[in-house]
Structure 1
Amino acid sequence: MTQSKKSKKEESKEATRKLRQKGNKIILLTSISVIVVYVGVLFISLFSKDGLDPNEIGDTLGGTLSPLIGLVSAILIYITIGQQIEANRLIQEQ
């Protein structure tokens, strides 16, 4: 195998590793955000004078988490498309 092919493979592996790290960070931040929102809603429902109806809790969680999940999905799709473009480029070079 020539030096250029090895370096291209190494570059590809490095790019894939970086994209996976980005994805892991996004998943971690999303998980933390979900936990913070959930704990906040529970805290409010436990210590409010009126209390919250279970339907209100569900509406609050759904309304808060839906845009967050949508944003994370869009970011992950962007990362996936980047990986697909890189894979297609490598295949064309063979």
Structure 2
Amino acid sequence: MFDERNRRLWKEIKPQGLKSYMFRWGIMKMGLVLFVAVGFISPLVDHGFSQSYFQSEGFINRLIVSAITSLLGGLYLAYSSWRELEKKYD
């Protein structure tokens, strides 16, 4: 039952193409979640709600690095997921 539902979803997703999947799933979903977690939640845990940290150069650098790595990580996850879905359902 679960596999049949996934097969139907794949038949809806595949015609939209890899680029669309990578943008929607990789960047907008996984990349954004990674960015929020690494860029904002992690510093809150490490430094608390210190306003001085959020105005520091270290925080800005962390945001830049986390934005780049989250984007690349999301794209990688989407691409590898697409390839696995092709193998499984095509």
| TM-score, length of structure 1 as denominator length | 0.44
- The structure whose Rg is larger is 1
| TM-score, length of structure 2 as denominator length | 0.45
